[in-house]
A and B are shown apart, each in its own frame.
Chain A
């Protein structure tokens, strides 16, 4: 039986063999691997790109103090981007399941319609949730739009839920019982995060402070985006740092939401604020890439 980390190694090796850059996680809080610049920005523009990385993904509202066997504040996603998507993408994906020891002749696999949309990113795509014996193990998406921009090349995004997949392979009923590596469980490694962040997100996070931080990060992102059109040396303009600020806003929004500090109608407004920043970065990014192309050509 493979451990959690062996499963990870095997998946990374599998996608490395298929031309993916193996990246390390983004060093900021994000809600999903999609939000990392490696996906959000790289899918823009006409340049092919293949990358895979594990992204710890934070969903403050999903925290359960480490008490729920299936629900986590922070889970690990393996994010794979193949841009453009090859015609045999689904076969390649199924191959990755075989690579981690799933005998597909003995299991039930279904691709059930599940379209994906991230309003805060101005992004959407169509695709499926991949069901393995009734368990959703992967979200498969053909991106259509990102940052409000129609994509030149359509990437396939594969997002593996690593805890679920490992629990399935190891036949564990609780994610906390997953063997991370020999003699160490997932619970040993992660329980404290789950407990402490649940306490913080649901009980102790200071709402006015979070709003203040939100405003500060939003302000900084805005300031940079307003500066970009006037800035002369476009190719060295710091859009990636600007995008960091957007991600900060997104995580603060999620935390405020978990804290119950955002009403349904406010939600729409705050989402629109984050979206505006994300779209702004995406547009500038495309512009900057075109300028860089022109310069190198």
Chain B
């Protein structure tokens, strides 16, 4: 049998739909074969084929009283199960009965489970609409189609009863019409709805008549914002091209959901592409309306651009005194002063320091008040327009970067220094006054700031000793370390134990951390590495149990026993000499050659011998091994299969 479920709703936010489908697909696949899901902004659809009419029959052991129970108890159990005592068998020392459970009708199972399953879709923000105690969903549910074969699966959600009646496009379809599994997509199509997201996407792409700037995210938005998408190409006055491209594209994309259009030479063309939720625009009204709206938006932007230019960024530095950064951390003017200082300490050039002075002044411009997402960018554009050095302008332009872990880092050294200093100042300040992120609460986006710093340092290869700036604040240091781990582990994909091992050695220099991680990653698959790591862990345990701190003790070669102990010492000296001049990876390979010597030592030599001098000397040898070779990574942090914990 075929199964069709359509949950008809008011318009679901586009970005939540793929997640909802994934959830529905997963849950229905637990119940039904061949599940596929589809959606538009007004319907979530699940279909399945070859659905059996009923679940298979099952057998289940029902356990009763123990074999030694009094006869009344046994009789009582048999009676309760509806069988004669003779039919009971003994199982695991108990009377038992093999109960035959006929499989339930799929229709009944679905009627019972669909409502609960649908209401459990994890939407980010739900609402209630029937009454305070009513069910919650992303938007009100208005109709439900639920069919198994030709029959309706009866159930209700929020007072809406399932039927075979679907609903069409708000303006191009009938409000209600019957559907079957077989004619479902066709019936929707006749009522102005393209069910398949792939088909809607393909339709939009096919209708794009001009070169558009690719924008996959916007495309997905429009695919799920429409039931029947169609493309409209509009024009705007080329005079607006005098405005910076960033501003025009932001207005089009973020505010109007339009694609920007490029000329053959990759320049912005005076055109835009809108996607409407209706088949055609025969009288050009949609085109004309969108053009009017865009004109008003561009006029606003132009007005702001021109008004803002009446005062230079330099003029605005003083204004920052009345823009609060944070009550206890002062104004943006105060912040600017601190950031300038930090840029200087980090080693930024005159240009970087100049950029620091001006970087926040765009907060006082009308354009940034209107398009907050353009902060920094606008400052950079104004700086360029006002004749600041290009290095200054681009540093300001980039200094909020990276805004996410996918975003790129600032392009220039000045931009990188400024971005690090700005974020570092925010972190140091907020931690100092106790604004420390906890759980999901991070109003100042400190995690993003810290990750941004890490990303800039590592990807730019700058040898900035980050720890020295945060060492005074143990909480901040720990927070930052957390972000360092996160970056290498979750963003860069290094194994967590490798990250732990490398960081345990030291993490002042993040570029160096990366180099050591790459070395470990390369050496790890070789045969000797993990066993040696296991031995190092063993050494660490031995030293710990012996409370051995090793301070001031030298190895006394004379006390070393000939054979494995002496051999290990010689190997140790040899490797120590070798690695002094080596890069990390060959050094690790050299250290790994110690493995046979270490293994033999543990096989043949007792550490805990009665002679304390010999014992301490052995501990000193092990301690030297551990400390000398733990500068690249603390091998005892490596998780190995052959982990030995015994001493």
Contacts and interface: CB of A to CB of B under 8 A. Distances in A.
Interface of A: 68-71, 84-85, 87, 90-91, 94, 104-113, 115, 125-126, 128, 132-135, 142, 144, 150-154, 168, 171, 173, 260, 263-266
Contacts, number: 121
A154 B289 contact: no
Given A133-B286, A142-B129, A265-B327, A173 B296 contact: yes
A264 B276 CA distance: 39
B132 interface: yes
Interface string B22-40: 0000000000000000000
Given A106-B281, A263-B322, A264-B323, 18 more contacts: A84-B131, A94-B170, A104-B171, A106-B282, A107-B289, A108-B277, A108-B286, A112-B225, A113-B11, A133-B292, A134-B256, A135-B292, A154-B128, A154-B129, A154-B131, A171-B292, A264-B326, A266-B324
Contacts of B322: 260, 263
Given A85-B129, A94-B170, A113 B14 contact: yes
8 contacts: A70-B300, A90-B10, A105-B171, A106-B281, A108-B286, A112-B11, A264-B326, A266-B324
Interface string B83-113: 0000000000000000000000000000000
B10 A69 contact: no
Interface in B623-644: none
Nearest to B129: A154
A142 B293 CA distance: 27
A104 to B, nearest CB: 5
Contacts of A171: 292
Contacts of A108: 232, 274, 276-278, 281, 286, 289-290
B562 to A, nearest CB: 74
A258 to B, nearest CB: 12
A43 to B, nearest CB: 12
Given A90-B10, A108-B278, A133-B289, A153 B131 contact: yes
A70 B132 contact: no
B324 A264 contact: yes
Contacts of A70: 296, 299-300
A274 to B, nearest CB: 19
A126 B127 contact: yes
A111 B283 contact: no
B535 interface: no
A150 B132 contact: yes
B252 to A, nearest CB: 10
Contact of A151 (B41, B132, B140, B295): B132
Interface of B: 10-11, 13-15, 41, 125, 127-132, 139-140, 142, 170-172, 175, 225-226, 232, 256-258, 274, 276-278, 281-283, 285-286, 288-290, 292-296, 299-300, 303, 322-327
A184 to B, nearest CB: 23
Given A113-B14, A133-B290, A154-B128, A107 B327 contact: no
A113 B127 CA distance: 13
A62 to B, nearest CB: 11
- 5 closest A-B pairs by beta carbon, nearest first, are A133-B289, A108-B276, A265-B327, A113-B13, A263-B324
A155 to B, nearest CB: 10
B122 to A, nearest CB: 16
Contact of A154 (B125, B130, B232): B130
Nearest to A144: B127
B237 to A, nearest CB: 12
A271 B108 CA distance: 53
A168 B171 contact: no
Contacts of A109: 170-171, 277-278
Given A128-B11, A134-B289, A152 B299 contact: no
Contact of A111 (B11, B130, B294, B324): B11
Contacts of B327: 263, 265-266
Nearest to B303: A68
B362 to A, nearest CB: 16
Nearest to B294: A134
Given A135-B289, A265-B327, A173 B127 contact: no
A265 B293 contact: no
B95 to A, nearest CB: 54
Contacts of A263: 322-324, 327
A94 B303 CA distance: 34
A142 B127 contact: yes
A145 to B, nearest CB: 10
B502 to A, nearest CB: 41
Among A107, A108, A264, residue most surrounded by chain B Cβ atoms (within 10 Å): A108
Contacts of B278: 105, 107-109
B224 to A, nearest CB: 11
Contacts of A115: 125
Contact of B290 (A71, A105, A134, A264): A134
B289 A110 contact: no
Nearest to B225: A110
A132 B289 contact: yes
Contacts of B258: 134
Contact of B285 (A106, A125, A144): A106
Nearest to B288: A133
A198 to B, nearest CB: 14
A151 B134 CA distance: 11
Contacts of B303: 68
Contacts of A104: 171
